[in-house]
Amino acid sequence: MAPFGKIYSYPSNPRVNRALIIADMNGLEIDIPAFTMRETNRTPEFLSKFALGKVPAFESADGFCVTESIAIATYIAKSGPKADQLLGSDVKTQALITQWACFSEGELFNNAFVPIAMTVMKLYTPDERRFNDHIAGLERDVKYLEASLQGGKKFLVGDRLTMADLMVTSLLYHSFKYLVDAEMRKELPNLIAYMEAFAAIPEHKKYYGELEMCETKITFQS
């Protein structure tokens, strides 16, 4: 079977991994072309398809192009037999799934990625106030998730896996590895059980590996 499409991005991008899990669930093959950040995405060929030069960027087999990770994940989810499960079959369920997708991008990605990018990846200029603001934001985010999972809920929306879970868990892997430390986890029993259950799913292990939980979170380094 010919590939459904291809996604351009740097390696191990969690925004790509969740799209690949969705593709696997829908029986769709996705190619990942060789890609070098700040080189591939600055070529005239790339910019002719994706004018902002942002990744991830998706190109379907018929030449349809789309960017922004929520749009990419939604397009792949809608394109296979698991569409109703992944995206919901009624407007209220669909709204809740979109709510969690937006939360993953607007809250989790910013609050987890910026501190890691600043200290571990060295991508941003060190800024202690910004670092601490995002750490505080992440603490608020995980407490919100903990409350949302009260009662031992296995999924964020309804009683089966949806795109909401895939969007959120994709960013929690790095959060737990570097920022959600042992002290913070004492107040997150529901979230811990939720993440451990997802970490045991073969599709998650395929793309994320083992779930790592830090004892002490990374700290600001000027």
- In tens, the pLDDT along 136-178 reads 999 999 999 999 999 989 999 999 999 999 999 999 999 999 9
Task: Please state the domain extents for the chain.
Answer: 5-83, 88-208
5-83: CATH homologous superfamily?
Glutaredoxin (3.40.30.10)
Strand partners, 66: 58
Adjacency order of strands within the sheet including 5-8: 30-31, 5-8, 57-60, 65-67
> What is the value of pTM for the model shown?
0.93
Contacts with 20 (C-beta within 8 Å, 6 or more apart), sequence order: 7, 30, 207
Q: What is the pLDDT along the chain (222 residues), one digit of tens a residue?
A: 689 999 999 988 999 999 999 999 999 999 999 999 999 999 999 999 999 999 999 999 999 999 999 999 999 999 999 999 999 999 999 999 999 999 999 999 999 988 998 888 887 888 999 999 999 999 999 999 999 999 989 999 999 999 999 999 999 999 999 999 999 999 999 999 999 999 999 888 999 999 999 999 999 875
For residues 145, 7, 122, 131, the Cα torsion angle rounded to the nearest 10 degrees is -30
Q: Where are the beta strands (DSSP E) in the chain?
A: 5-8, 30-31, 57-60, 65-67
Contact 42, 49 (CB under 8 A): no
Residue 125, classified by CB atoms within 10 Å of its CB into exposed (0-12), middle (13-18) or buried (19+), is exposed
Q: Does domain 88-208 have CATH number 3.40.1170.20?
A: no
DSSP at 158: T
CA 86 to chain centre: 15
Contacts with 31 (C-beta within 8 Å, 6 or more apart), sequence order: 3, 5, 6, 7
